[in-house]
Amino acid sequence: MKRVYVNEKWCLGCHLCEYNCAYANSGLSSMAKLKGVKIFPRIRVEGDDSISYAVSCRHCTDPICIKSCISGALSRDENGTVVIDHERCVGCLTCVLVCPYGAVTQDGEGAAVKCELCLKNSSGEPACVKGCPNNAIVYEER
């Protein structure tokens, strides 16, 4: 399957991916509306002044989050994408407790959210990849 991959050599640490992610998943009509609003991006840039890189769901081949989910909200779709059924999530955060990469986070209501490769939102393809100015984030088969 195609996944989002990150090359820290090219990451500028600009955090644009976080904004593009938050916008793509916000349902808002304009990115400008994110100004001053607390955002809940599903990709996070971490590192220091010299090294930076973005972390999002790895769509693991053997996802411990799915095995651990207490409400049956997490599953794998037909493409292998690890997805969350928002309606079934009760916000217990067991997935946050077990994800080795810290890639599951919470939305404003406390429910678990994670990268779903923008396949279900208005972007249609990973917004972090589309907006990365230095091609540090790519979407491909490896």
- Determine if 92 is a binding residue for another protein (CB under 8 A): yes
- Determine if 86 is a binding residue for another protein (CB under 8 A): no
- Determine if 14 is a binding residue for another protein (CB under 8 A): no
- Output the smallest distance, CB 25 to another protein, in A: 18
Give yes or no for a contact between 94 and 69, defined as CB atoms under 8 angstroms apart: yes
- Determine if 100 is a binding residue for another protein (CB under 8 A): yes
Give yes or no for a contact between 31 and 23, defined as CB atoms under 8 angstroms apart: yes
- Determine if 40 is a binding residue for another protein (CB under 8 A): no
Give CA–CA dist 54/44, Å, rounded.
5
Task: Find how far residue 65's CA is from the centre of its chain.
Answer: 14
Give CA–CA dist 127/120, Å, rounded.
12
Give yes or no for a contact between 16 and 129, defined as CB atoms under 8 angstroms apart: no
- Output the smallest distance, CB 123 to another protein, in A: 21
- Contacts with another protein, residue ranges (CB under 8 A): 3, 5-8, 46-48, 51, 53-55, 58, 60-61, 64, 67-68, 70-72, 87-88, 90-102, 104-106, 110, 142
